[in-house]
Amino acid sequence: MTKKSFILLTFLIASSLQVVAREVFNLNKGWQFGAVVHNVVSSVKVDVPHSWNHDELQSVFGENSSSVYYIREVKIPSSWDIKNTSLRFYGVASKATLYVNGQYVGEHNGAYTAFTFDISHFLKYGAVNTIQVYVQGGEQIDNMPLVPRFSQYGGIFRDVELILNEREHISVTHYSSNGVYVSTKKISDEVANLNVDVMLRGSFGDRLTTKVKIFDGDKIVSEGSGVATISTDGSSVISIPMLVKKPRLWNGKKSPFMYRAEVYLLNASKDVRDKVVQPFGIRIVSIDRKKGFLLNGNAYPIYGMLMKQENILSGLNFSRENSDDDISFLKEVGATSVRFANGSHSQYDYNLCDKSGVIVWNDLPFCGDEFYSSKSFINSFAFKNSGIIQLKEMIWQLYNHPSIAFWGLFSNLSGNTESPVEYVKELNEVATLISPNCITVGVSNQDGEINNVTDVISWSQYFGWKRGETKDFGMWLSQFEYGWQKLKPAVGEYGISGKIDKFSKVKSKKEISNFRTEQEQLDFHIDYLKAIKNRSYFWGYYVNSLFDSPEYSSLYTGLVTSDRKYKKDAFYLYKANWNKEDEFVHLAKKRSYYRSSTIQNICVMTNMSTVELKINGKIVSEKKQSDGVVLWKNVKVKYGINVIEVNSGEFSDKTEFVVTRRM
């Protein structure tokens, strides 16, 4: 598949464009964005990705304008009248209605999945065509998620593409995937049994041949083919069994090996009409009550972070550079897994996880919030049907990523007047039918039947922040060692806020405050990591979260600030425990410059065996680390400026602070 720039009203003329197979034209440039504000139509030129309530346009158009539109003109060559033309949007928040040349094409609910419409019959060939997209942002009663702060941004926040195919082609409209699905049926040291399903489009009665070649680098390791006849609705599906001898498995961070499938569609004359190149990995995942998560039959530790696709700098509008940076934080901290919470990310993020061997848990945006304050479920046909469609889109669009092991079907659903259990059962049936090679999971914040629906279950736990004390977390974990043996438990999220510019602790341990200090956050995670240690009957643990949420939500549970500028002390705690390759030492509390006491605790995070402490140039002592932490308690310092240095081999860290007689 080739990528070309699709420039407004230029160079696309019939005499110069000879299309043999599919071509993809980017439509990100040159949109007219407008809204009705105070009964006046206002518009500006924008490029997408774009969010109207994130950038400077927010003051003009408001946060959740309901009458918002994007318009773009495109010249379509006359030669395209014998082709198939589709329009794909990779992400529109959160409800989109599409018109072409004033004609209604269709609508789509849900911000985080792509959607594609065949617009061939709506186009004027050899003429300028007008694309209009009407967008509704914010929460809606027939659309996931219902939590207002999870649907904060509105706009076309991912790429837009025009896809040109021959009339006979591999489908681009099957839940907006690329129409090719590779599944692992069985693996052994000698052979892997695969199945390649290909969704076809054409005219009724067409007999089309599909050929598949599987590559290990430049070497063909398997070939297969099949013939299918297009049915009356213009579609067909062909299933081709394949064998790969001596398979190289996708084995997480140890060996994230990827194969490549090349799929060709031929007509009755044996002319190639379409081609799709699909990377994939061969792997099998499961959960054992005693051994935990199994990757290809072997125990594999799952410890990870929540990530939401948003930041204070760009809202939902993520570039590849943004994604590269975010995944680099995940790799640095040493996580083996990531939970993409509250909705799918861009395809590029999953490609990065495939290549780096990070296990992915991907959420459907069927969620409440951490404080149980928002409604998350409406027992209406519109809401439930929209959720099922979003689930199917999520799975089919992400089907071939070996990194994805878990489909998250719900999270934090308490607080509803009607039970969502029967609906969760329906979601689970759909996910299991489509994707038996993955594991269904939910995040629970309650007792009851909802914990027995998905393949495995996890809980959100915030002992020491929202209730109780951190020691209660270990007591809660212990219940599962011998109790509830049928459940396969995990901690789907845990955490506490920690503001880097706050230094005064809350007055009461019972206070549920978003404005805890960085030190309180560190203490919380030290206690939780100790509680988690040596509990193999829990298959995974996920910190909420890797990054702070943007300022509008006032949540600071991240280990890195929302602008990605500052790593908090708790980040280095996890790096010390999870990343054994990149040696380091890190002094905690370096942002606390003014202090009131000459008696201080000096805390260091490190993955080195021992650390030496110096205060004002004098060696205090050398200590061994335990669980990534070295702590000197009740160390005497002086009034005025103090210089603190820690060293371990070639690695060191340094800070200074002032002790004042009055604060």
Residues contacting residue 18 through CB under 8 Å, at least 6 positions apart? none
Q: Is 646 in a helix, a strand, or coil?
A: strand
Domain residue spans in the chain? 2-165, 180-280, 285-582, 587-659
Two domains, one topology: 180-280 and 587-659:
yes
Report the CATH superfamily, name and number, of domain 285-582: Glycosidases (3.20.20.80)
- Please state the pTM of the whole predicted model: 0.93
| DSSP, residue by residue, 449-512 | GGGGSSSEEEEEE-BTTTBS-THHHHHHHHHHHHS-TT--EEEEEE----BTT--SPPS-TT--
Report the CATH superfamily, name and number, of domain 180-280: Immunoglobulins (2.60.40.10)
pLDDT averaged over the chain?
A: 91
Stronger pLDDT, 228 or 376, i.e. the higher one: 228
pLDDT at 248: 98
Q: What is the mean predicted confidence (pLDDT) over 420-430?
A: 98
- CA-based nearest residue to 31, from 40, 22, 44, 17: 44
pLDDT at 331: 98
Q: Does an H or E element contain 164, and which?
A: strand 160-165
Cβ pair 208, 266 in contact under 8 A: yes
The answer to whether residue 11 scores a pLDDT higher than 50 is no
Q: Is 134 in a helix, a strand, or coil?
A: strand
pLDDT tens figures, 90-130: 999 989 999 999 999 999 999 999 999 999 999 999 999 99
Residue 444 C-alpha from the chain's centroid = 19
Reading the block at residue 13, the tokens are: 């003329």
Residue 265 CA to residue 168 CA, distance in Å, equals 8
pLDDT tens figures, 587-618: 999 999 999 999 999 999 999 999 999 999 99
Q: What is the CATH number of domain 587-659?
A: 2.60.40.10
Helix ranges, 300-341 (H): 320-333
Q: What is the mean predicted confidence (pLDDT) over 648-654?
A: 98
pLDDT tens figures, 386-407: 999 999 999 999 999 999 999 9
pLDDT tens figures, 204-234: 999 999 999 999 999 999 999 999 999 999 9
How many CB atoms are closer than 10 A to CB 275? 16
pLDDT confidence bin for 12, thresholds 50/70/90: very low
Q: Beta strand 180-187 with 169-170: parallel, antiparallel or unpaired?
A: unpaired
What architecture does CATH give domain 2-165?
Answer: Sandwich (2.60)
Number of H helices, E strands in the chain: 8, 42
Q: Beta strand 651-659 with 250-251: parallel, antiparallel or unpaired?
A: unpaired
Burial readout 281-301 (b: 16 or more C-beta within 10 A, e: otherwise): bbbbbbbebeebbebbeeebb
Q: What is the mean predicted confidence (pLDDT) over 492-511?
A: 78
